[in-house]
Amino acid sequence: MLTLESFEEASEVVKKVTTATELVYSDYFSARTGNRVYFKPENMQVTGAYKIRGAYYKISTLTEEERSKGLITASAGNHAQGVAYAAKEFGCKAVIVMPTTTPLMKVNRTKSYGAEVVLAGDVYDEACAKAYELAEEYGYTFIHPFDDLAVATGQGTIAMEIVKELPLVDYILVPIGGGGLATGVSTLAKLLNPKIQVIGVEPAGANCLQESIKAGKVVSLPAVNTIADGTAVKTPGSNIFPFIQQNLDDIITVEDDELVVSFLDMVENHKMIVENSGLLTVAALKHLPSKNKKVVSILSGGNMDVITMASVVQHGLIQRDRIFTVSVLLPDKPGELVQVAGIIAKEQGNVIKLDHNQFVAVNRNAAVELKITMEAFGTDHKNQIVKALEKNGYRPKIIRPNL
């Protein structure tokens, strides 16, 4: 495995189940970063993520006896759907162990492909331990989501497609959970062109691979904390670790807040739904020190449930000052509320919520609190509205919106 011949074979095999995800050039991110930015939209695959590649190729390498025993894996969702879909294509049973925190949409999608779902543990590592127990008990064939060379070979077919479409690519940004995608992409990229820089991107709250590379060996994080549930892994793969050490050029970590605003950017500028783990490479674009380079960000998946999506949008609007709240004190007498509303309207602010508290002070004539939540076009517009209130004798105080 992980030879040019195996990657070429895998590239032909996965074509049976994958959608052609041609590169998407981004005017928006190119202008913001000074590079030529392209996206590899693996969120458009039939299962909503790149994981179908590794799962299908791995299962294709199994013997009929191994497949007849039934397959089992552990996954936070995307590998689960990949294995479930691939198992259905090969006509074999699939059991998927998923963390109890997995979004309902991913659970239901996995079941829709005919797989049996078992919920166990709070994070991937705990679900994986349960999957190994069931494999031992029932004799299932285990399909590891990342620490498997055949799986990594299947994932690496992404690099083959990128280089064929953009032969002079300078940087490939790849999300990292356990490291399977990074292993396949970085290894094949270096085989095709050693000058290609492959940069891994991890959540700051789940940077297991970064810590392992620093230590020179696989280490486990005591805990993980990130909204990027698909990459919330405590321990990277030990079988694939030597390949990552050899072929990955660097690792960037990003904060959850950066993922939130990246979601808004992708929806507004590319009309794409990309899950938090897939947004890692989008958020990392601004951290690249290079200019005038051809950069490909791999969007690893788009399986985000609606509730999570709503929360991310709301927090993103707040971070971008598109929604903000001010608190003002005013006398409790007729006409005061109309006057404040008039000032905001004149500055084109759109009020979406009012909270009028008459009991903020004992003397209501002296002070009644009015909390105003409104929409703005961004930070400059927000500041314009605040200054208008100040100019008219109010002392607006910016507070955290409570929507």
Is 391 a residue of the active site?
no
Are residues 179 and 306 both part of a single domain?
yes
Phi, psi of 346 (to 5 degrees): -60, -30
Coil vs helix vs strand at 134: helix
Are residues 218 and 201 both part of a single domain?
yes
Boundary (domain end) residue, out of 142, 164, 179: 142
Phi, psi of 322 (to 5 degrees): -85, -20
Catalytically annotated residue among 40, 51, 106, 130? 51
pTM: 0.88
Boundary (domain end) residue, out of 273, 293, 316: 316
Task: Establish if 76 belongs to a structural domain.
Answer: yes
The domain total for the chain is 3
pLDDT in tens, 142-163: 999 999 999 999 999 999 999 9
Q: What's the pLDDT score for residue 361?
A: 60
Contact between 242 and 149 under an 8 Å Cβ cutoff? The reply is no
Residues 6+ apart with CB under 8 A from 209: 176, 179, 182, 200, 202, 236, 244, 251
Structure tokens at 273: 């739904």
**Between these two residues, 362 and 135, which has the higher pLDDT value?**
135
Q: At what angle do helices 4-14 and 180-192 cross, to 10 degrees?
A: 120
Domain of residue 122, CATH code: 3.40.50.1100
Are residues 349 and 310 both part of a single domain?
no
Is 68 a residue of the active site?
no
Hey, what amino acid is at 258?
Answer: E
Identify the band that residue 365 occupies on the pLDDT scale cut at 50, 70 and 90: low
Query: Mean pLDDT over all residues of the chain?
Result: 93
Could you tell me which of 134, 66, 69 has the C-alpha nearest to residue 97? 134
Are residues 373 and 253 both part of a single domain?
no
Boundary (domain end) residue, out of 282, 301, 316: 316
101: containing domain: 51-142
Catalytically annotated residue among 60, 186, 297, 300? 300
Instruction: Give CA torsion, residues 255, 258, 263, 269, to 10 deg.
Output: -150
